[in-house]
Amino acid sequence: MELNGLEVLKNIIIQNNSPEIIISNSNNYIDKEYSYTNQVFFKQDENRFCGYKDILYLFPNIHFYCVWLFVYRCDFLFDNNFKFEPNIMYEDVLFTSYVFTFLNNIYISNIPIYNYRINRDGSIMNTKTKESFCKSAYSYFVLSKRFFEFYKVSDDERKKYFMHWGVFYLKETLRCLQIFGYIDEIGFSKSQLSIFYPYMSGKYKFCFHFPRIYGFPKRIRLFVTKLFFKQSK
């Protein structure tokens, strides 16, 4: 966090009558030579109040994924009993997306108070093992399941929002299945996934039935591309 980070947040809270959430900015560092600022919203939407309906009107499929970009008013979280989904990756996506749809008092700040290093050695995003693939597949499955549950009990703008991300993470689940198929380590069965079959379209229905066959042409293409790249070097 920047040295003046807490002071920036304190001033926003005092000057704006304690918003439910403050959405902050961050500097994302890819390496020592290059950095860029992660803008959550367009310039015209910074340093102002809004609610979730305003945001969904402008960005109907916006994707929240960084818990630490949000500063939460405690009574808002505790009164609504918001909790993280246990035993999954990407729990921040589920948490922030769900919390966001309850907000009527959001303050968006363009002052970057966090610094984040991307592509860190040993990070979840850079770990590519069988265990990590299975964990990802299970996590995507849970995210899709929760978003569809939210979809069924919501109305107005939230309904389309939850449907969009339910389908998105369903596709991610199916993509993960292309690697190893329905093995025990994946954490869910084909029959459990079948309840989402009505939300699948076209090629994804084929992938549901034959995930490894569906992914075979892609694996061949990636192998040939990698081989050709090595030879060209």
Count how many Cα atoms sit within 13 Å of the Cα of residue 38 in the half-sphere of its side chain: 19
Helix axes 211-232, 156-180, angle to 10 degrees: 70
Q: Which domain holds residue 165?
A: 128-233
Neighbouring residues of 72: CB distance < 8 A, sequence distance ≥ 6? 20, 21, 99
Residues 149 and 233 in one domain: yes
Q: List 108's β-bridge partners, or say none.
A: 23, 48
Q: What is the pTM of this model?
A: 0.82
Residues 120 and 134 in one domain: no
Q: Which of 104, 124, 144 is the last residue of a domain?
A: 124
224: which 2 tokens? 């040939």
With beta carbons less than 8 A apart as the criterion, state whether 48 and 40 touch. Answer: no
Residue 159 is predicted with a pLDDT of 92
Residues 70 and 150 in one domain: no
Residues 138 and 199 in one domain: yes
Residue 181 is predicted with a pLDDT of 87
Residue 151 is predicted with a pLDDT of 94
Cα dist. 187→169, 170, 184 in Å?
16, 15, 6
Q: Which residue has the tokens 């807490």?
A: 6
Residues 168 and 152 in one domain: yes
Spatial separation of the C-alpha atoms in residues 183 and 133, rounded to whole Å: 12
Residues 120 and 138 in one domain: no
pLDDT per 10-residue tile (average), the chain, 233 residues: 89 84 77 59 64 86 83 89 91 91 86 76 68 90 95 88 95 90 91 94 88 70 59 55
Residues 133 and 158 in one domain: yes
Q: Which residue has the tokens 């190893």?
A: 180
DSSP state of 85: P
117: which 2 tokens? 């290093």
Residue 223 is predicted with a pLDDT of 54
Residues 109 and 155 in one domain: no
With beta carbons less than 8 A apart as the criterion, state whether 195 and 144 touch. Answer: no
202: which 2 tokens? 């076209």
Residues 167 and 87 in one domain: no
Q: Which of 93, 124, 155 is the last residue of a domain?
A: 124
152: which 2 tokens? 């069924």
Q: Which of 124, 147, 177 is the last residue of a domain?
A: 124
Residues 36 and 71 in one domain: yes
Residue 39 is predicted with a pLDDT of 56
Total number of domains in the chain: 2
Residues 112 and 146 in one domain: no
Q: List 21's β-bridge partners, or say none.
A: 72, 106
Residues 49 and 9 in one domain: yes
Nearest to 146 by CA among 81, 190, 192, 95: 95
